[in-house]
Amino acid sequence: MPIKYEKESSFLSSEEIRSIEEWTSEMKKYPLLIPIVKRKIAQRTLEIPHKNIGNGLNRMVYDLGNGYVLKIALSEIGLISNAQEFRLYHFSHPDIQQYLCPVMEKGQGWIVMKKMDHKASMNLVNLQKLSDLIIKFLLHGIVPVDLKLANIALTHDNEMVVIDYGLFIKTLYGKTVDSNDYIHSE
């Protein structure tokens, strides 16, 4: 089932949505640019008044200032990652969903996710929790690609929540789900 993209948002203005849509159509012109150059072009194209709080190879993250973050795709992989996070969060078993940072909305090239401030530090307790979490995902048919402490935050109760799970792979009966199930072009 393809994901429906939102044209309206409880978190973003119509101008911000238009700006992101403009960028996602523009980014396809630059498939081979190195990420830092593509990010600079994206920042010039986007009219996002929020503070940039992080960048990866495939997405940029903005603090919306209201307890939520905006993730904007920088590449096709970023588009797939946004769709994957939305889909995994909304369609995973509750035993797994509790370990995924909530995704509130999705649009063409963007998602809004709850902001998690408390990063997991490198210590034996957290490494053991991370190991246990990897096993939980695998037992639920999810290959947690790129699951590391840098992609984990802690709740107020010191429970782990994955804040970057766009590269996770959901399997069905031993077969990988086709990424085309997660993206939809308008």
* pLDDT computed for residue 177 by the predictor: 46
Catalogue all structural domains in the chain, each as residue range(s) with its CATH number: 14-114 (3.30.200.20), 124-181 (1.10.510.10)
Upper half-sphere CA count for residue 70 (Cβ side, 13 Å): 25
pLDDT 10s digits, 77-111:
999 999 999 999 999 999 999 999 999 999 999 99
* pLDDT computed for residue 185 by the predictor: 37
> Is residue 6 within 8 Å of residue 107, measured between CB atoms?
yes
State CA 31 to chain mean position distance: 20
Nearest CA to 152 among 183, 180, 179, 121?
121
Beta bridge partners of 109: none
Model pTM score? 0.86
pLDDT 10s digits, 141-164:
999 999 999 999 999 999 999 999
**Residue 186's pLDDT band (cuts 50, 70, 90):** very low
Is residue 174's pLDDT more than 60? no
